[in-house]
Structure 1
């Protein structure tokens, strides 16, 4: 209940205040979520420099509330700035990504995954897969399997993998006849999958988008509709508005819709190239360095 939440928040505030007075940090960095609320608030009240980082295009409730007391706010998407209280110091830094994402070459990815060179579409629904995307892709393979100019790398998620192979067989698609289609349950080195992709189809979580933007990859995004405050749709819209992606909402997703969108993209490679350039312009592979700069700036001015 609201009353219980308020009691827990108050208790958390005094616990955080006690710990902060003991350890005397040079700065407190908050990344959203109810756990960081009492800590950042206590730090601000104690005069400890505070920095927020918002990874999503639509700021979470905790960060929106803490913005009134934080010294500085770093955002992934420039569109987020207008959603914070006026007069706050906001810096667009991007979202940190692993160095391997940028350092893995296409040749290394092809070798690591055992793939041949070719225009490749990467389909991924997150670590657990996405049943709706998998289901719609059945129609895509049925319609487009004979296009030898297209290669597919589809990560189904471990839970749905065996079932998906059975679904393909029921549709009359024998993967041994189609070397251009690779279905995998999971990829441990996502940097390899991204390095071989020319078009990405997937959800719109902030970390995933940060990676494809940094790589300059055009994308067809299908936001997860049950994400908190529908933040994935806002993330996807940030890319769509910049010309870096196309979006299909979950309620509009079907095999026919997906086939049409994919054809629209792969048959107009110049459009894909332009989308990739816009994605790269939005991305920032040096995000961690920019955030560290903001931290050092606040600490040195203390």
Structure 2
């Protein structure tokens, strides 16, 4: 089996692609993969570290306002389609898959014009421009959350979940507690702003640290992001509360998530896949700096489902965050309810579902 897969720009597009490829490798004894991504995107580094053949493509995204730069974007798209057609003819894939980000537009579009089976995966509740455009041409659209189907052609759309969920669904809480050196009877509150950290979350939580003594029954695990760690440690100083552990980064996040009772984080798509797979209650602080403001739409949808509480960054302060944590952690009934709701939204079998859908397309 030969696969071309493309997705990039953010981890939310890259990691679902890698999770899906792991599922294909597990189930197919004879498989060849080619990953097409932006030469300047995160994927150029991440994918090649995984040992997956990588083809770099020079592309750019549309600006959401009238701009001369959009003319260059159109040229790069047309040129990218031409390059991708040549690449596809040479590689001869059985299927071409896109997981979002503007880099996958010329790849998937070219495949559709060459009558190669095509599938795109949408991670967010509200789809991005690239997938909305590609949905007119592809054979199948897979979505992560119920409610996203309305944005795509009804005959093409399938609810599969996010394949990233599959990787965390089997994580064991015991390993998480052991790695953190925390007794399993403790309830963990995990505070994290993503792999690089989030300054507004860091600033707010730093201000809140002196009040952690008011919550002695809970242990706070604070992940600063590697770029912020030294400054955070300096600001905390020597007076670290006994119920606080500070880390720059956690490499065993699935196990830590499995041991967690409540998480405070951004609202990226891959993260939502992870917490819904585990049924983890959350306080979501969406980043206002992302394309199409999709994190706020993700967080608002999660709150409407009863799985999360949303705090907008403009409303974020020490009192608001402390009160939200205090009220939730002291309301066991509500935590259980949020956990059940989150779990009902998750699709831990997502990678397997996507694999089966792809195979069914090839047999059709």
Alpha-carbon deviation of 1:145?
A: 1.9
Matched, 1:190 2:253: yes
Matched, 1:137 2:200: no
Matched, 1:272 2:335: yes
Give per-residue Cα distances to partners, 1:160-200, cap 9 Å, x unaligned.
Answer: 2222223223xxx711xx32111111111112321220000
Give per-residue Cα distances to partners, 1:29-87, cap 9 Å, x unaligned.
Answer: 11122221112112112221111101111211111001011111001112221223x44
**What residue number does 1:113 align with?**
180
Among 112, 120, 131, the alignment partner of 1:44 is 112
TM-score (norm 1): 0.93
Q: Secondary structure at the match of 2:197?
A: coil
Among 127, 133, 153, the alignment partner of 1:59 is 127
Provide structure 2 residue ranges, at least 5 long, that are not aligned to the other structure: 1-68
Among 208, 223, 241, the alignment partner of 2:304 is 241
CA separation in 1, counterparts of 2:173 and 2:107? 43
Q: 5 Å matches for 1:84-123?
A: 84=152, 86-97=153-164, 101-117=168-184, 118-123=186-191
Q: Which region of structure 1 is more displaced relative to structure 2, 110-119 or 249-258?
A: 110-119
The 1:100/1:66 distance shift into structure 2, 3 A limit, reads closer
Cα RMSD over matched residues? 1.6
**What residue number does 1:174 align with?**
239
Preserved contact between residue 95 and residue 207 of structure 1 (Cα < 8 Å): yes
Among 281, 284, 287, the alignment partner of 1:224 is 287
Q: Secondary structure at the match of 1:179?
A: coil
Alpha-carbon deviation of 1:252?
A: 0.7
Alpha-carbon deviation of 1:290?
A: 0.5
CA separation in 2, counterparts of 1:99 and 1:20? 29
Alpha-carbon deviation of 1:113?
A: 1.9
Alpha-carbon deviation of 1:88?
A: 4.1
Alpha-carbon deviation of 1:18?
A: 2.1
**What residue number does 2:316 align with?**
253
Q: How many residues align?
A: 295
**What residue number does 1:295 align with?**
358
CA separation in 2, counterparts of 1:150 and 1:251? 27
Preserved contact between residue 68 and residue 88 of structure 1 (Cα < 8 Å): no
Provide structure 1 residue ranges, at least 5 long, that are not aligned to the other structure: none
**What residue number does 2:344 align with?**
281
Preserved contact between residue 139 and residue 259 of structure 1 (Cα < 8 Å): no
